[in-house]
Amino acid sequence: MRERQKLRLAVAFAMMCGLASASVVGYHVEPVKAMWSGHTGIIPPNNYVSQQVVVCWDSLDRIELFAGAKGNGGAYHATVYDGSTQLMTSTGNNVPEHGWVKFTNWDQQVAFTKGKTVTIRFTRSGNDVHAA
């Protein structure tokens, strides 16, 4: 009977490890300084904030962006570029006021080359009203 309990424990532990490995974070930047906040113009082509990252993953599942006030609304978008070539794009969901915007619904899946630098560009549709 004792051997069965050990086996069950070992199987449960292996399953937990397998589930945990499915949510590995490939790159993480914790926004802890005010100067890291991104501000952008509202007129294209200067209506985005971006982050360059060195790829350390095989595929991209989710990106999260901390967003401030929604202003007059509009959807958030994330686009991944290799140089000037657009690789994939997503529209953010779960858009609360002053909260994390999740990008999970990518228009295509891309196999990334580890060690390559890509740019993630964030934009938002809609109009902002800025107080002077």
pLDDT tens per residue across span 35-48: 556 666 667 777 78
Residues of the chain short of pLDDT 70, as ranges, are 1, 6-42, 70-73, 94-96, 126-132
- What range does the domain containing 120 cover? 31-124
pLDDT tens digit sequence for 18-37: 555 555 566 666 655 555 56
Residue 105 located in a structural domain? yes
Residues 6+ apart with CB under 8 A from 118: 52, 53, 55, 80, 81, 82, 87, 112
* Residue 6 in domain: no
Domain presence at residue 109: yes
Evaluate whether residue 37 is within a structural domain. yes
Does residue 115 fall inside a structural domain? yes
- Tell whether 89 is covered by a domain: yes
Largest CA distance in the chain: 75
How many domains are there within the chain?
1
User: Is 130 domain-assigned?
Assistant: no
- Give the pLDDT of residue 125: 78
* In contact, 76 and 64? CB cutoff 8 Å: no
Is position 85 within any domain? yes
